[in-house]
Amino acid sequence: MADTPGASEPTLEAQIAAYQREFQDLDPQVEQIVSALGRLNRRMNVAYGRQTATLGMSNAEWEVLKALVLGGAPYRLGPGDLAKRLGLTPAAMTHRIDRMVGDGLVTRERDESNRVRVIIELQDAGRQKWLEAMRLATVFEEDLLQDLSQDERGVLGEMLTRLLRRVEDAQPDSGGRLTDLA
């Protein structure tokens, strides 16, 4: 597959050659894989951002909707739980929730069983936005993987899952905000 970098980004080959020039111990095969994964992740996030923008929301808001859906029915979580799941500070979570409440995607109410606790609940409009974003993402993802056979998709999925597990085992806090980087 041809690499089509942005105007200021070198091709993968040029990047690896520069790294090898400066750091001779580099394994070019490992660097190709890691760099390609990083670039793919960035470009996919841009594509998803464009899709969610057409729906009048940001990727960040889509992540909140996704967390509520993944939490299961009745699609309710506390803001602290949401912040932890998304690797955010409570202040950043509050900012997201404020906008989403204003857009009618979620509600923020006191928990009747514990008046100190606040509950964020997915609303029908939020669920519809999440479903539409999923429809758009599915089309994009199918297009992305169109050149891979079902067997290749299975193998790639298994390999990426193994890599993910290795990172998660080595860095248990990697799913959220790293306390040593805060």
Are 66 and 105 a contacting pair, CB within 8 Å?
A: no
Question: For 95-114, what is each residue's pLDDT tens digit?
Answer: 999 999 999 999 999 988 88
**CB 82, CB 64: distance < 8 Å:** yes
Give the Cα separation of 106 and 120 in Å (integer). 6
- Omega before 90 cis (within 30°)? no
Q: Which two tokens stand for residue 36?
A: 């390609």
The more confidently predicted of residues 102 and 173 is: 102
Structure confidence by residue, pLDDT tens digits, 5-32: 556 889 999 999 999 999 999 999 999 9
**CB contact at 8 A, 59 and 49:** yes
What is the C-alpha to C-alpha distance for residues 39 and 79, in angstroms, rounded to an integer?
A: 31
Q: Does residue 2 register a pLDDT over 50?
A: no
Other residues' Cβ atoms within 10 Å of the Cβ of residue 67: 19
Q: Indicate whether this model's pTM tops 0.75.
A: yes
Contact 120, 78 (CB under 8 A): yes
